[in-house]
Structures are given as C-alpha cells and as structure tokens.
Structure 1
Amino acid sequence: MASHVNAAPVIIKKKKVVGGDGHHGGAWKVAYADFVTAMMAFFMLMWLLNATTEKQRKGLADYFSPTVAISRISGGGDGAFGGESIFSEEVLTQNGTGASNQRPTEAQQARGEIGEAEDSTLKQMEAVLMGRGGESMFSVEQQRHIIMRVTDEGLIVELFDLPGAELFEVDGDTPTDLLRGLSAMLVRVFALVRNDVAVEGHTRAYPVVLKDNPVWSLSAARADRMRLLMQEDGLHHDRVQRVTGHADNELASTDPTNPRNNRLEVILLRENIR
C-alpha cells in the first residue's frame, strides 16, 4: 500500500498538431491548376491564329460580334428595337426597315450581300484574266509569271521573276518587255470595273556585307515604275490608292536570295478598302 502512495503521478501530454503551415492547406494547387488552364488556352489561341486563314479568322470574329447578323437577311423592322421582336425573322435585329420575307428588297445593304457581290466580281475578274471557260488574256509564257488569289483586301495579282525571265533588268527598275506586256493586259481587264488599285514591290535579300543594301529603295522604285506603266497603259491615276515597297521582309521562297522573291503585287481593292 505504501508503494502506491509514493508512486509518481503519470502525466499524459497531448500535442495538438496544426496542419497547413508547410503546404498552406493545398491552396497552391488550385492556383497552379488555374495557371496551367490559362496557359493551355493561350497556346490553343496561338495555334488557332497560326492554323487559320485571314478569312476564317474574320468569320470567327464576326460570329462572336453581337452586331453582325447571323442570316443573309436583316431582321430590322418598324417595331420595338427596330423589329417586331428580337426574334423577328429568327435573326438579330438592326436599325431601320430591312429586308425580310414579308418586306423583300433588292438593296444589297439590306440583304447583307455586299461581301458576296464583291467576292463574285473579284472571282469573275480572276476568271477573265486566267481564261477559265475561255481563252486567257495572257499567253502561256506570261501565265508562268502570275499567281492570283482573292483575299479580304481584294484580288491580288502576283507577278514574279523566273530564271532567265525577269520583270526588271537585273538589280534595277527598268521594266522588261515581259512586264510591259503584263501591265497592258492588267489595265485592259481592270478597266471592266471601277475598283481602286494598290501596287506593292518585293525583292530578294542581298548579302548583309553590302555597305548600301538596296532592298528598300529597289522595291519601292519597282512598285512605282509599275504604277507608271499601268498609267501609261490607260489606268486613271485617281484609281491608284497606294504604292509600297516591302524590301525583303515578306519572302515567297524559303531561300531569301532566291530570285522568286523578286515580285510585284497588283491588288484590285475591294470598294471598302482604302
């Protein structure tokens, strides 16, 4: 009995461990997940910008624009918000009285057909130049120097050098007979419409060791010489909106010194491009 009385008391100490001091409760994981998601979205955006054409990107932008109708006809009318309801004709409403199934009109603006009409006109011009469905305006030899494409800016007619067949005298801005013939044919076809014209010059790259690199002055001089040629062939000077030299900044060939980079771009502009 005495042994029990003299025994030291047993003290049980419970240590409370507070978690989160080291890793903050995992909040960093949420922040990291948000960061990774944002980076993934950013790289997807970069990929889309690189994988789509200018026309496709414009279409995507128009799709998300609240002011662009999603139908070829306008939903405008006389009622509230410019229409009987926001669902009038199942399209977005617009100010004023536009075309509808009940109120048809031939006005291109109301039917939203300006862009389509311009596309059709430019493609017809391309067909005339290349002779689709008939005889081409250019000879077989001339066609080897021409590439055409319709873009958001207009109809781009690209004229370029080939080995042994150049548009200008070597390293100069004196036009060859080849370019004179191409200019005359372009002016004849461009006379069918009233669209304005732009001329852009491009050159191949020269060695960087040159003291005076001529790419800027040469590309601008060649573009301006093409303008003068077209005006001599009958193009009215008021139709020329701009003349630009791009030097060797926009290469057509992966080899910067390739003569294929020596080229002119004559652009038949859309009516809303200035």
Structure 2
Amino acid sequence: MSGKAKGPQGGGTIVIRREEGGDHGHHGGAWKVAYADFVTAMMAFFLLMWLLNATTEEQRRGLADYFAPTNLLARSVSGSGAPFGGQTPNDQGNQTSTTGALTIQPGRQPVVLDIEEDDTDTPARPMTRRDGPEGREEAEDPRLVAPTPPGALSGPEPPRGGPADEPAPDPRPDALSEAELRRELARREREAFEQAAQQIREAVAADPALADLARQLLVEQTLEGLRIQLVDAEGLPMFALGGATPNERARALLTRVAQAALRLRNPIYIEGHTDSTPFRGGAGRSNWDLSAERANMTRRLLSEAGIPEERIRSVSGRADREPLIPEDTAAPANRRVSITLLRQIREEPGR
C-alpha cells in the first residue's frame, strides 16, 4: 500500500511501498525417497514376473543357485548362511553335519588272479590248447598252422579222416616264423583292401545319381596297394575342360572313396594324368601343370572329407607319360586321377 504525506514546508511527495507476504518454507523431500523405493520395487516385481515367464525350470534353478551359493564349510545347507551348519564355536556338540558324508566300510579282500602275480619261483603251467575254426587259406597252406607242442593236448588225439575231425586252429603270431608272419599279415591286408573296394562299389551302385558312373570308377589291387582311379568317358569328364575344378559327380565319387579309405590307415599317394593332346593354357602351362593341379585338388577334397593330412605321402602330376590305354594315347580314359592306398606289408616275390 502507499500513502502520500506532505512535509511541514509543503515539500515533495514521499511514496512508501510495502511488499506483503514472505518466503515460503522448505516442505522436505521424504516423499521422493518413498516414491523412488516404490518405483524400484515395482520394477523388480515386473522383472521377476518376466523372468518366471521367460525361463525354464533348469534356468530358474541355476539363477537360484547363483543367488544362494552352496556353503563350502558346511556339509548341509545352513539357514543362517554361516559356516559349520549355522552353529558357532560356543554351541555344544559337533559343528558340522554328517549329512551326505562318505563312510568307509570294510569289504572282502580283492581276488588276485594268477596272471597278476609275478612269482618267478613258480614254474608256468602248460595251458590246454583248444582248436578253433579254420580259415580258408589256413587250411590250404599248412605252413600257417602252428605246430602242436607234445603234451599240449589234454586228451588223446582224435582220429583223422572221419566226419568228426576237429578244424585246424587259426595261425597265431607267437607260433609263426618271421616269413610266415609276414605272409599272414599280407593276407589280412589284402582282405582289408578287398573289403574297402567292395564298399566303394556298393556305395556307388546304391546311389542313383552315381550308378551310371560305375564304369568310370576303376578299383583294383596292385603290387603297390589298392588303386582307385576316376577316369573320363566320352562326353563325361570329371574335371572342367582345361581346368582343375571337379564337377559334382567327381566330388560325390571322391566322397565315397574317402569314406572307404577312412576305415584303413594305409598311406596314400595321388597322381594326375592327361591324354596326349597338347594343352596350351597360356603363361607356359602344359599337361604337366594340368595333371599336377588336378592331383592337388583331389588331395584337397579328400582332406575336406576327413582324410588326415599325415596320411598323404605324395601328390604328383604325370601328364601323358603313363596312359591307361597305351594303344590310344588320345582316348578320354587316359584323363584320370589315381588314388593309391600303399601296402604296409610287402609280400616276398615268388610267394
């Protein structure tokens, strides 16, 4: 409000202004803390509901174990989370629980077999020999049959020449000489090669997409080992013309070969061959380069199919120096890749 006053001498007007009201007091922020706690609790509640709906039982159990770790100092779960099962050193009795503790009970003394005892003073007793079924080649070759030591049989020798004859025993490594052992191992290797060759032929025949390519797959046993060749036919090449990229049929055939070779442990060498038609791919490339590139591509595909790299003995290109059909060096069958599983047991010549 304002007022006017005149001085005694009629001086100027004096204006007095008064501002009503004053500063408002601070109301406090306790409600903000309570509201923040409420919002946090609601957020935690909704997060819990989301976790219960979005997780499996095993995941929820894992979360529970994470927030309630096992007490390593107590044998059982402690309600208070304290060590020693929730007890203190001032409590009476044991401070650990025996729940789940291991107990040791005496049992019978283990039986020790005679073969486990190392008694050099006791002489070895002869074992009774039992005859087993004879193999085809063992019956044909009497040298593969181990000689029978005198007194080894527990009873009298049965008569020979009748229907009740017992079959001759299979050859055993400890009863064969060195030469006989090598022949026996070589025979078993030949059988393993024949089984692998049969597996490849059956796999190709069983696949409708490869059945018509059986004549382009040559599998045979040689003095070096099991040789598998993929050859071209008229109008049916295995690789792109003038290139080292195999087509889908060649890849499928190499996959079947790799599956059979994985059953064996023999080392492998790979060769590439071309026909006698000169190849001019530019930059000085020739049939030597082409055959080597195709052999190396074959090695790469076998490795991708699972053949270990350490089994690859060598990879080489032969160009047209070793034609499959010598009388027609330009024939398509001369264009081929050869995969050989090398023998580990060399047979003696003339045997």
Under TM normalisation by the shorter chain, which class is it? 0.5 to 0.7
Residues 210 and 127 of structure 1: CA distance in aligned 2, closer, same or farther (over 3 Å): closer
Give the secondary-structure state (helix, strand or coil) at the position aligned to 2:218. Answer: strand
Amino acid at match of 2:321: N
Q: How many residues align?
A: 179
Identity %: 28
2:332 is matched with 259
1:271 deviation in Å? 1.9
Task: Check if 1:187 corresponds to 2:258.
Answer: yes
The counterpart of 2:218, out of the listed 144, 147, 170, is: 147
- Asked if 2 retains the 8 angstrom alpha-carbon contact of 1:129 and 1:137, the reply is no
Task: Check if 1:102 corresponds to 2:174.
Answer: no
Residues 207 and 216 of structure 1: CA distance in aligned 2, closer, same or farther (over 3 Å): closer
Cα distance in 2 for partners of 1:118, 1:260 equals 29
- Asked if 2 retains the 8 angstrom alpha-carbon contact of 1:215 and 1:248, the reply is yes
Q: Which has the higher helix share?
A: 1
Cα distance in 1 for partners of 2:299, 2:343 equals 18
1:120 deviation in Å? 1.0
1:173 is matched with 244
Structure 1 residue runs of 5 or longer lacking an equivalent are 1-69, 75-98
Cα distance in 2 for partners of 1:209, 1:176 equals 21
1:158 deviation in Å? 1.1
Amino acid at match of 2:235: G
Give the secondary-structure state (helix, strand or coil) at the position aligned to 1:144. Answer: helix
- Asked if 1 retains the 8 angstrom alpha-carbon contact of 2:280 and 2:286, the reply is no
* Misfit runs of 4+, over 2 Å: 70-74, 99-105, 108-112, 134-139, 206-213
Residues 147 and 135 of structure 1: CA distance in aligned 2, closer, same or farther (over 3 Å): closer
Structure 2 residue runs of 5 or longer lacking an equivalent are 1-140, 151-168, 347-351
1:224 is matched with 296
Instruction: Report Cα offsets for 1:216-255 as digits up to 9, x if no partner.
Output: 1111111111000110111111111111211101111222
**RMSD of aligned Cα (Å):** 3.0
- 1 or 2 for the larger relative contact order (CA 8 Å, sep ≥6)? 1
1:214 is matched with 286
1:245 is matched with 317
The counterpart of 1:127, out of the listed 198, 202, 205, is: 198
- Asked if 1 retains the 8 angstrom alpha-carbon contact of 2:267 and 2:313, the reply is yes
Task: Check if 1:236 corresponds to 2:308.
Answer: yes
Instruction: Report Cα offsets for 1:3-30 as digits up to 9, x if no partner.
Output: xxxxxxxxxxxxxxxxxxxxxxxxxxxx
Question: TM-score normalized by structure 1?
Answer: 0.58
